Chains A and B, each alone.
Chain A
Amino acid sequence: MDTMRERFASVTSRLLDEDPRLAVVLADIGVDGFAGAARRHPERVVNVGIREQLLIGVGGGLALTGLRPIMHTFASFLVERPFEQVKLDFGHQGVGGVLVSAGGSYDWPSGGFTHMAPGDIGLLDTLDGWTVHVPGHPDEAETLLRHAAAAGDDKVYVRLSVQVNAAPRPVDGVGFRTVREGRGGVVIAVGPMLDNVLAATEGLDVTVLYATTVRPFDAAGLRAATGAADAADVVIVEPYLAGTSTRFANEALEDRPHRVLGLGVGRQELRRFGQLDEHLAAHGLDPRGLRERIAGFVPARTGQ
């Protein structure tokens, strides 16, 4: 199986062949995957060098002429470093584009904190109108990238990761999907967290929703799921900063008593290298850590 990034390069290269409105902007990261596309479309595959402010500014300029730019680099250099460019060169100018990140929260743990961006979606949440896709499998990434490319002048962020679920699930680029039904609470698993959530909630009487499009937040889907459950107890398990979506769940359930537990990556810098699994465990996002937090939060009505 290819990685999400490899799929991004192959799918987007095909989309460039099909849609003359699309353009790819790179900043030295991911260039090899677009070598063929750059030969076929030299004026719509632009590598600006290691210049991330320019990466976003050029995207904004392309959009001002009517093109749909797809900008790509690691999340920390795509969203965090040029954040004001994202805010002004897209939002304030009133133009759209697609940001496709790699690296996620700790895809390259031995690379250290400089290459970790657990706060990317929290930052985008300070802005208006960004659609956010968090695929959990390369096949889902392909579907969501196609949605993003075709989404008119929308502003879309697609968060790719090496953390994946074993099998793809159908995704529609809009709402949450019910994967398991129960009566003792609702657990929302975002993208690559699904497999660990399913393992952690084995035998618990909870509904599991799978979320790959997290903005706009599927409030109706969550309300429907909690309506079917006995109590509005909600756990959100996100592969980025813990609590990022808690506010959205609270707003979705503001007319009824509810509790929300937000699980995800902690703020504290671990100053550890190692492997992805070790970072998942350190943040309590492995099946054991999740089981402990979720079982302690939902009503004790476990078992069959």
Chain B
Amino acid sequence: MTHATTHVMTEPATGSTTEVAADIPAALPTHTGRPIEFAELPALMSLMTGDEKHGPAATSTLDALWVLYDRVLRVSPGTVADPERDRFLLSKGHGPMAYYAVLAAKGFFPVDWLPGFGSYDSPLGHHPDRQLVPGVEIGSGSLGHGLPLAVGTALGLRAQGRPGPAVWVLIGDAELDEGSNHEALAYAGAAGLDRLHTLVIDNSSATHGWRGGIASRFESAGWSVATVDGRDHQALYAAYNAPHPGRPHAVIARVEPKNA
């Protein structure tokens, strides 16, 4: 799909749309109207082109992200600056199409931003930028930054007497190669950061694999761990809500192998 039409974005500050891109399917709500359902996310994702290289990375996260934003995270477009909001940090910034689709579906920014994906005037880069996109908690793209930032976020909330907000970070199984993750997960386990949650999307893309399993890395560091089918919404929901008193919690969401 190509986008030859001139696209004028909605200004985030005013919310006024001056022109709606011609290539958004008429059936999709482009403004705050009826809720967008999970089944419509592929159509939203198809509005974003130019990063097909990361297509598998994008679809691997779709179900896990949807269940989080639809049923678990206590954050909405109206609370993106509320100190009591839950934080979701997308560490694996590659292939953010599913993330953008979910954020758009939940109204964090207008659907008509999506076709501009990756263009000079668009706030939607091939890696998200927190300074440009409402609801995006961190700029990511360089792997291995999200989990340490999430540890600091959990510590910062605790130090300010805010036990309410949950902190979630999404990483990939290949991203786990980055040593910074191991610094963070070892410390988080030792510190008992029970408001910290790591969602690992495992599409078997780590070059050397994880002998003994990804879960064992977290378990041996003192985390609570659940491994689930990353396409099973009910299983994801149950894993997200598993009690883990005194310990951080990791959910390993297994999806089809990237290179299958």
Cβ contacts B170-206/A at 8 Å (1 or 0 each): 0000000001100110110010000000000000000
Interface residues of B in 130-164 (CB under 8 A from A): 130-131, 137-139, 142, 144-145, 147-160
Cβ contacts A211-242/B at 8 Å (1 or 0 each): 00000000000000000000000000000000
Among the listed B138, B153, B154, B180, which residue makes an inter-chain contact with A54, where contact means beta carbons less than 8 Å apart? B180
CB closest chain-A residue, reference B167: A61
Q: Which residues of A contact B138 (CB under 8 A)?
A: 64, 93
Say if the beta carbon of A59 comes within 8 Å of chain B.
yes
Q: Which residues of B contact A63 (CB under 8 A)?
A: 152, 156
* A60-B149, A61-B149 as given contacts; A93 in contact with B155, CB under 8 Å: no
Interface residues of B in 81-134 (CB under 8 A from A): 83, 87, 129-131
Q: Of the 9-residue stretches A41-49, A144-152, A186-194, which lies at the interface with chain B?
A: A41-49
CB closest chain-B residue, reference A49: B187
Cβ contacts A51-86/B at 8 Å (1 or 0 each): 101101111111111110100000000000000110
A66 vs chain B, min Cβ distance (A)? 7
B residues with CB within 8 A of A: 83, 87, 129-131, 137-139, 142, 144-145, 147-160, 179-180, 183-184, 186-187, 190
In whole angstroms, how far apart are the Cα atoms of A70 and B98 in the complex?
A: 36
CB closest chain-A residue, reference B131: A94
Among the listed A48, A57, A61, which residue makes an inter-chain contact with B156, where contact means beta carbons less than 8 Å apart? A61
Question: Does B145 contact A89, Cβ atoms closer than 8 Å?
Answer: yes
Among the listed A43, A57, A88, A92, which residue makes an inter-chain contact with B159, where contact means beta carbons less than 8 Å apart? A43
A-B contact pairs, 26 of them (CB 8 A): A43-B155, A44-B159, A48-B187, A49-B187, A49-B190, A51-B183, A54-B184, A57-B145, A57-B149, A57-B184, A58-B149, A60-B152, A61-B148, A61-B153, A62-B152, A62-B155, A62-B159, A63-B156, A65-B153, A65-B156, A65-B157, A66-B83, A85-B148, A89-B149, A92-B129, A94-B130
Q: Which residues of B contact A56 (CB under 8 A)?
A: 148
Q: Which residues of A contact B131 (CB under 8 A)?
A: 94
Question: Does A53 contact B183, Cβ atoms closer than 8 Å?
Answer: yes
CB closest chain-B residue, reference A45: B159
CB closest chain-A residue, reference B148: A57
In whole angstroms, how far apart are the Cα atoms of A49 and B191 in the complex?
A: 11
In whole angstroms, how far apart are the Cα atoms of A62 and B130 in the complex?
A: 16
Q: Which residues of B contact A58 (CB under 8 A)?
A: 148-149, 151-152, 155
Question: Does B154 contact A61, Cβ atoms closer than 8 Å?
Answer: yes
- Binding site secondary structure of chain A: helix
B178 vs chain A, min Cβ distance (A)? 9
Question: Does B150 contact A61, Cβ atoms closer than 8 Å?
Answer: yes
Question: Does B180 contact A65, Cβ atoms closer than 8 Å?
Answer: no
Question: Does A54 contact B159, Cβ atoms closer than 8 Å?
Answer: no
In whole angstroms, how far apart are the Cα atoms of A51 and B152 in the complex?
A: 13
Q: Which residues of B contact A134 (CB under 8 A)?
A: none
CB closest chain-A residue, reference B160: A65
A27 vs chain B, min Cβ distance (A)? 10
CB closest chain-B residue, reference A54: B183
9 more A-B contacts (CB under 8 A) besides A54-B148, A57-B180? A23-B156, A23-B159, A54-B187, A57-B148, A59-B152, A62-B152, A64-B137, A65-B153, A85-B145
In whole angstroms, how far apart are the Cα atoms of A46 and B187 in the complex?
A: 11
B87 vs chain A, min Cβ distance (A)? 8
CB closest chain-B residue, reference A44: B159
Among the listed A53, A62, A67, A93, which residue makes an inter-chain contact with B180, where contact means beta carbons less than 8 Å apart? A53
Among the listed A51, A65, A88, which residue makes an inter-chain contact with B83, where contact means beta carbons less than 8 Å apart? A65
CB closest chain-A residue, reference B157: A65
In whole angstroms, how far apart are the Cα atoms of A110 and B159 in the complex?
A: 39
